[in-house]
Amino acid sequence: MKFLENPPRFLFFTGKGGVGKTSIACASAIQLAEAGKQVLLVSTDPASNVGQVFGITIGNNITAIPAVPNLAALEIDPQAAAQLYRDKIVGPVRGLLPEAVVKGIEEQLSGACTTEIAAFDEFTALLIDSPLTAEYDHIVFDTAPTGHTIRLLQLPGAWSGFLEEGKGDASCLGPLAGLEKQREQYKAAVDALADAEKTRLILVARAQQSTLREVARTHEELASIGLKQQYLVINALLPKTEAETDALAAAIYKREQAALHNIPEVLKALPQDMVVLKAFDLVGLDALRQLLKNTPWHPQKTINTTLVLDKPSLSKLVDNIAADGHGLIMLMGKGGVGKTTIAAAVAVELAHRGLSVHLTTSDPAAHLSETLSGTLNGVLDKLTVSRIDPHAETERYRQHVLETKGALLDAQGRALLEEDLRSPCTEEIAVFQAFSRIIREAGKKFVVMDTAPTGHTLLLLDATGAYHREVSRQMGNTSLHFTTPMMQLQNQQQTKVLIVTLAEKTPVLEAANLQADLRRAGIEPWAWVINNSIAATFTSSQLLHQRALNELTEIDTVATKHAKRYAIVPMLKDEPIGVQRLLDLSA
């Protein structure tokens, strides 16, 4: 594999959910360790399953992997990190400042920004020369930091100037207060990230047009801030031999090859590796050792078992949804599981029944106009489609806050407010408010939301009062009455949350974690949708049939442990583009 040739000290694996970055990161760490290198494997993913992959509990302390000499692992827990971060900032001023001021600081440190900063406060400690990591030849990161977070760590110019001039005090610095103390550490970390001799970024993708477009955006964003040493890994490619005798396999192979042929220009110059699709689940050392070896798979014996599978259809779920006559349907799930497709399928099925539907998304890669191409029996006459532009919504939100709240501040206060509005949670709140405006339509028609706020975001917005604070900020000193949409989201008579997943270990684990987050926010998921299931279709490909057998375990886990009701959507030979094919998904 090119990405493991002459590896630097730091290896970052990034990519959207479901592409296999955790498996490839783990396999790479094992390969380096077994070559005699001292390796630390670090997960910065809040839904980390590194411990599950190795069959041990890891957690927030460096833990040796007993079965692999020279390998240790660490899982950074964002929530635990956030609490430590708050304690570090608030502790020194407790008892020195008035209690009201201290409470104000704690309130400022309770939002999503603090959680994100705190996690990366821990991760930057791993990128500098320190006794903590001195013994390791390589540090392998599963789920690299996003571009906007690294920009945050670079301390934007306006904020740096504010700090350097000594303006303000601890009560007004908000989540970034701790950055002053860590500026040298962050600068060293950012310098290490931008040093091609020290850091290599591995973009993991699948041979899917939407995934490759997203990887191209990630590549450009990270390259623009200095992370230019990038490699591309295309994971889980179906071998050509499987496509020679099976119609489903042939269709998958054709789609993958078309996606590779039309790969975005910005990715063509990157060093590339291809990893073939494996028949086995990527859990356990034996499986991980085989992952990066592109050796042909041959079944030990011919598989001709007929799958016996209860296949509750998406149409059955829509029957129950349609009976209400109107309401909010929110599709949630990690990236790569097909939320946009399922959202479109639900919306089309409702419209096909003569019901008025508004389908909306905030995903720039959703391409709903393409997915919904074609007409059928006037379906599109009942269907309204919109897209929330996160950048436009964020800019509108910023301008409104500056014109209202900002108008009451002096120059220093306004500069601080402008910097605060550049934080990562601003976009989440702006998009959430845009969703909130559309939610009101659900009282008289169906509103189907693709790319809804994550359970983690909803939990933070509700539990910490962050959303309420932001509404208050917008409303200023007006006497207008306002409420948040959380009560509607918590009411199953008004809102039905559908969690979308795949019948694979990692997506099911991530979906279960999402469900736990939602429940902590008082939102009970209404149903699960298992998308793109091979077990729900027919194949004579031995490799695909083995994967279908593997799916049965995960489907049973969803049916018996997680979901109150569920549907299984089969993998189709043709991509679900167009109204008729979307209706076929529901059958």
Q: 525 or 576: which carries more pLDDT confidence? A: 525
Give the list of residues 6+ apart from residue 280 with CB closer than 8 angstroms, or none: 287, 290, 546, 550
CATH class of 314-389+435-457+490-586: alpha beta
Q: Which residues of 375-389 are buried (b: 16+ CB within 10 A; e: fewer)?
A: eeeebbebbbbebbe
Rounded alpha-carbon distances, angstroms, from residue 290 to 278, 279, 295: 9, 11, 8
Q: Are 298 and 465 in contact (CB under 8 A)?
A: no
Q: How many CB atoms lie within 10 A of CB 313?
A: 16
The domain defined by 2-291 carries CATH number 3.40.50.280? no
Average pLDDT over every residue of 339-353:
92
Q: 284 or 467: which carries more pLDDT confidence? A: 284
Q: Is the pLDDT at 290 greater than 60, yes or no?
A: yes
Given CA atoms 21, 387, 456, 109 in this order, what sign does their dihedral have? positive
Provide the pLDDT confidence category of residue 488 given band limits of 50, 70 and 90: confident
Q: How many CB atoms lie within 10 A of CB 96?
A: 9
Q: Where in the chain is the domain with CATH 3.40.50.300?
A: 2-291, 314-389+435-457+490-586
Find the Cα–Cα–Cα–Cα dihedral 579, 583, 585, 587, rounded to 10°. -170
Q: How many CB atoms lie within 10 A of CB 124?
A: 21
Chain-centre distance for alpha carbon 274: 23
pLDDT of residue 200: 95
Residues linked to residue 332 through DSSP beta bridges, in sequence order: 499
Average pLDDT over every residue of 396-417:
84
Q: Which residue has the tokens 């019948």?
A: 503
What is the distance between the alpha carbons of residues 370 and 578, in angstroms, rounded to a whole number?
Answer: 7
| Listed residue (410, 469, 473, 470) closest to 162, CA to CA | 410
Q: Is the pLDDT at 187 greater than 80, yes or no?
A: no
pLDDT of residue 155: 43
Residues linked to residue 224 through DSSP beta bridges, in sequence order: none
pLDDT of residue 145: 54
Q: Are 124 and 132 in contact (CB under 8 A)?
A: no
Provide the pLDDT confidence category of residue 236 given band limits of 50, 70 and 90: very high
Q: What is the mean pLDDT of the chain?
A: 81
pLDDT of residue 547: 93
Q: Is the pLDDT at 161 greater than 50, yes or no?
A: no
Chain-centre distance for alpha carbon 361: 15
Mutual angle of helices 78-90 and 112-125, in 10-degree steps: 90
Q: Is the pLDDT at 116 greater than 60, yes or no?
A: yes
Planar angle of CA 568, 574, 576, nearest 5 degrees = 60
Q: Are 196 and 228 in contact (CB under 8 A)?
A: yes
Percent of the chain at pLDDT exceeding 90: 37
Q: Which two tokens stand for residue 510?
A: 């991530």
What is the distance between the alpha carbons of residues 74 and 125, in angstroms, rounded to a whole number?
Answer: 13
- Give, as one character, the DSSP assignment of residue 97: B
Average pLDDT over every residue of 43-71:
83
Q: 255 or 84: which carries more pLDDT confidence? A: 255
Max Cα-Cα span within the chain: 77
What is the distance between the alpha carbons of residues 347 and 359, in angstroms, rounded to a whole number?
Answer: 6
Task: Lowest mean pLDDT of 328-332, 348-352, 414-418, name the range.
Answer: 414-418
247-251, 306-310, 333-337, 457-461: which has the highest mean pLDDT? Answer: 247-251
Q: Is the pLDDT at 310 greater than 80, yes or no?
A: no
Task: Lowest mean pLDDT of 266-270, 283-287, 562-566, name the range.
Answer: 283-287
Provide the pLDDT confidence category of residue 479 given band limits of 50, 70 and 90: low
Average pLDDT over every residue of 363-386:
68
165: left (phi over 0), alpha (psi -120 to 50) or beta: alpha
80-84, 462-466, 544-548: which has the highest mean pLDDT? Answer: 544-548
Residues recognised as catalytic: 18, 20-23, 45, 506
pLDDT of residue 158: 37
Average pLDDT over every residue of 64-91:
84
pLDDT of residue 407: 86
pLDDT of residue 160: 43
pLDDT of residue 413: 79
pLDDT of residue 378: 63
pLDDT of residue 426: 74
Q: Is the pLDDT at 163 greater than 60, yes or no?
A: no
Q: Is the pLDDT at 107 greater than 50, yes or no?
A: yes
pLDDT of residue 445: 95
Task: Lowest mean pLDDT of 140-149, 290-299, 320-329, 441-450, name the range.
Answer: 140-149
